[in-house]
Every structure is written in structure tokens, then in C-alpha cells.
Amino acid sequence: MKVSYHGHSVVMIETNQGQKVMIDPFLTGNPLTDLVVGEVKVDYILVTHGHNDHVGDMVELAKNNDATVISIPEIAHFARKQGVQDIHEMNIGGTFEFPFGQVKMVFAQHSSGYDTGEEMIYMGEPAGFVLEVDGVVIYHAGDTAYFSDLGLLNEDFDIDLAFLPIGDNFTMGIKDAVKAQGKIQAKKVVPMHYDTFPVIEQNPDEFVNRLENGVGHVMKVGEALEY
């Protein structure tokens, strides 16, 4: 199984069976990504919340690939209105077994709305995802603030790999992301959601250096971890 990082909050998982799962497909307009929408092959698309830099190219990618969109009902409704055919709705606290593995939708403390340029559309509650794929537990926190109930994840999951935002301003900053790792106790932690825009510029090495036991790892754009 392979997990790759593609700038901002874009994560791709490729299973041992060859299924491809993308989280928060913000490619067009993402200055950090190495991916091109028309060249991406994907089977499932998970969206943590409705901000434009996370919904991203969900619709085009889903249509191009006949991919299944997995998200909260409000985002699912938005996708359906845009012509996406294959949609799986979930809600916070729910778990479902997909052909590629198990997904649980978990709390994130943030907001969620899609800016059409004319109006802001409410897109439901923000979320994170815990995936169990090929025996590996992956936590994608979405855009969250630090909150004490992150510790509940450690009660239910032995997290192998966590993606935590560090950009500050819109999400946790470095200090709070370190506290979050103290709650979730992941075996490996990768910073995300930083440097895409000037307001979220951060030094990821500072984050990694603050973590105990050498669990931090700064993934370069396009880099993959294999399990």
C-alpha cells in the first residue's frame, strides 16, 4: 500500500489491489501540487469539508473517472447537483466498509462553506477521516483546530500515519498540532495545509523537531510512503 502527498491537504492512497483514493482534491489553483486534473486516475474521492481549497476538483475528477464521492450529505447534495453520479453519504461518527477498506468520519472543529463567487453555500459540518486500508490506519484531520476530544481517537484506533494541518490562521498552528499529536499518538505524523498561501506560511521542520520520539516526517510534494 502506498500513501502520497500532493500539496496543501491532498493525499492519495493506492491500495495493494490497485484502488486509488484521494482526499481533498484541490489541484486547480493549488500552486504546490504536482498533479494535473486531466491526468489523475482515481476511484474514490473523500472530501473533509466544503471550502473551495478542499472540494477543489471533486466534480471534474469524479466525472472523468466515474469515481465515488464520499462526504457529508450537504457536500453530497452539492456534488449531485453538479452531475456527479456515484455518491456515498456519511455523517460524523459513522463508519462504512468500502471495497478499499473501512472509513470512519470523525469530528473536526472548523467551518464549511463553498464560495461560488456570488454566494456562500452551506456545506454541512467539517470532518476528518480515519481509514483502515490494507491493515494500515490513516488519519486525515481535515482543517481542524485543536480540541481535547482528539484524544478519543487514540482510544479507538492505533494510528499508523496522521496528516495534521499546521498552517495556523485557518487551522491549528504548529504549537497546537504538537498538542494534537500528544492526544492521538500516531506512529508517524506528516504536516499539511501550509505554505499554499502567504497567510499560512510555516516551517514544517519546526513542527517535526517539536515532536517526541522522531515521529514527525515532512513529505515532499509527490513523495510516497509504502507500507
CA distance 221 to 200: 17
Q: What is the pLDDT of residues 122-176, one digit of tens each?
A: 999 999 999 999 999 999 999 999 999 999 999 999 999 999 999 999 999 999 9
180, 209 contact by CB (below 8 A): no
Has residue 204 been placed in a domain? yes
pLDDT at 62 (0 to 100) = 98
Tally of structural domains, the chain? 1
Give start and end residues of each alpha helix (H) in 32-83: 52-55, 58-65, 73-81
- At 112, the pLDDT band (50, 70, 90 cuts) reads very high
Instruction: Compute the radius of gyration of the chain from its Cα atoms.
Output: 16
pLDDT at 156 (0 to 100) = 95
Q: What is the mean pLDDT of residues 218-225?
A: 98
% the chain with pLDDT above 70: 100
Q: What is the pLDDT of residues 10-20, one digit of tens each?
A: 999 999 999 99
Phi/psi of residue 52, nearest 5 degrees? -60, -35
pLDDT at 86 (0 to 100) = 98
27, 37 contact by CB (below 8 A): yes
Q: What is the mean pLDDT of residues 73-96?
A: 98
Has residue 188 been placed in a domain? yes
**pTM score of the predicted model:** 0.98
Has residue 82 been placed in a domain? yes
- At 194, the pLDDT band (50, 70, 90 cuts) reads very high
CA distance 110 to 144: 5
Has residue 27 been placed in a domain? yes
Has residue 48 been placed in a domain? yes
Q: What is the mean pLDDT of residues 74-97?
A: 98
How big, in percent rounded to 5, are the helix, strand and coil portions of the chain? 25, 30, 45
Give start and end residues of each alpha helix (H) in the chain: 52-55, 58-65, 73-81, 151-156, 174-184, 204-210
Q: What is the rounded average pLDDT for all residues in the chain?
A: 98
pLDDT at 53 (0 to 100) = 98
Pull the grid cell for residue 173.
498552528
Which domain range does residue 169 map to?
Answer: 2-218
Q: What's the half-sphere exposure (Cβ side, CA atoms, 13 Å) at 187?
A: 9
Give the CATH number for residue 111: 3.60.15.10
pLDDT at 21 (0 to 100) = 98
- At 118, the pLDDT band (50, 70, 90 cuts) reads very high
Has residue 146 been placed in a domain? yes
Has residue 226 been placed in a domain? no
Has residue 223 been placed in a domain? no
159, 130 contact by CB (below 8 A): yes
CA distance 166 to 216: 12
Q: Which residues pair with 7 in a beta bridge?
A: none
- At 214, the pLDDT band (50, 70, 90 cuts) reads very high
pLDDT at 57 (0 to 100) = 98
Q: What is the mean pLDDT of residues 78-86?
A: 97
% the chain with pLDDT above 90: 100
- 3-state class of 106 per DSSP? strand
